[in-house]
Amino acid sequence: MKDGFMLIGEIADFFGISRKAIRLYEKKDIIKPVKVDDENGYRYYSAEQVQQLNALLELKALGFSLDEIKMIIDGKKEKAALLEMLEKKRQAWQEAMSLAKYKEECIGNIINNVQGSGAAEKIAEMTEEERAWLLVKMVCIEDIRAQHALSEALWV
C-alpha cells in the first residue's frame, strides 16, 4: 500500500482474482483507478474503489452481468427498476433451485430403481442390449413421473 492507495496486484491478491479481471472491469468503466502512474503504468485504487470492487464481486457471484452491475454501481437505476432487476434475478435463482431439486429427485428415483432391481446385480454379466434395456427401465424418470402423476390423478 502506498499513500493510502492499493496497487492492482494487491487488490487482485486480496480478492483472489486476476489483474486481468480488474483491467476488464476498468475497460467496462465499472472500476477506475484513482491514479495511474505515467512512468510505470501502475494503477492505484482508493478504499472506496476497493469497496466497489467488493460489491461488484458479490453481485457477480449472484449472477448479475457486468452491464447490470455497472448500472447498479453507477446508480443509473431508479429504485423501482432496481427492485424489478433484483426480483427477476431472485426468480431466476428460484427456477434454478427448482430444477436442481427436480434433478435430485430424479437421481433418488434412479437409486431406488437400482436398489429394487434384482437384475441390476447381474448387470456386468448382461449383453449390451440387455444392459441397455435395464438401464432404460431404471433411468427413464420421465416415464416414472408421468405414471406417478397419472396414478395420482386417477385416484383423486
111-133 tens-digit pLDDT: 887 787 777 777 788 888 888 87
Amino acid at 3: D
How is residue 149 written as a grid cell?
A: 402423476
Q: What is the pLDDT along the chain (156 residues), one digit of tens a residue?
A: 567 899 999 999 999 999 999 999 999 999 999 988 889 888 899 989 999 999 999 999 999 999 999 999 888 888 999 999 999 999 999 999 999 998 898 888 888 877 877 777 777 888 888 888 777 777 765 555 555 665 666 665
pLDDT of residue 138: 74
pLDDT of residue 144: 52
Asked if 12 and 51 touch (Cβ cutoff 8 Å), the reply is no
pLDDT of residue 95: 95
d(CA 73, CA 69): 6
pLDDT of residue 143: 54
d(CA 14, CA 47): 13
Map out the domains of the chain with their CATH numbers: 6-74 (1.10.1660.10), 99-155 (no CATH)
Asked if 139 and 103 touch (Cβ cutoff 8 Å), the reply is no
d(CA 17, CA 22): 8
d(CA 109, CA 122): 20
pLDDT of residue 151: 60
Residues 6+ apart with CB under 8 A from 6: 14, 44, 45, 50
Strand ranges in the chain using DSSP code E only, listed in sequence order = 6-7, 35-36, 43-45
How is residue 89 written as a grid cell?
A: 434475478
